Amino acid sequence: MTGVVEFTKMDGSDSLRLMRQMVMREGCVRCHGHLGFKVGDIRGEVSISMPLAPYKEATEQSLRSLVISHTLLSDRRRKGFAFTRRSGFTAPSTSQA
C-alpha cells in the first residue's frame, strides 16, 4: 500500500504529512460489508501530520555539539603536534626486522 508524503505548513509551522488510502480487506467487509463495500474498494483516507519543529531543534542541537566537539579535538591535536615538534619527540618505528 502506497501513500503520499509531503512537507507542508500547518498553523504556520513546517510539518510532515502522510496520507494513505483505507482499502477494504476481508476482515473489514465482515463488519462494514453492509455499507456496500467489497474487498479492494477504497473506503477513505487516513492523514497524519507532525510538526517538524522538535526534530529541527534536535538536529540543530546535535550539529552544534558535533561542531564543538570536533573543533575541540582538532585544537587539541594541533597543540599536541606543536608540543611533539618542540620537544623533539619522535614516534617509535613500526617496521619489523
- What confidence tens digit (pLDDT) does each residue in 18-35 have? 999 999 999 998 888 899
Strands 13-23 and 3-10: antiparallel
Half-sphere exposure of 61 (CA within 13 A, CB side): 6
pTM beyond 0.85: no
- What confidence tens digit (pLDDT) does each residue in 8-18 have? 998 899 999 99
According to DSSP, the residues that pair with 51 across neighbouring strands are 15
User: How many separate helices (H) and strands (E) can be counted in the chain?
Assistant: 2, 3
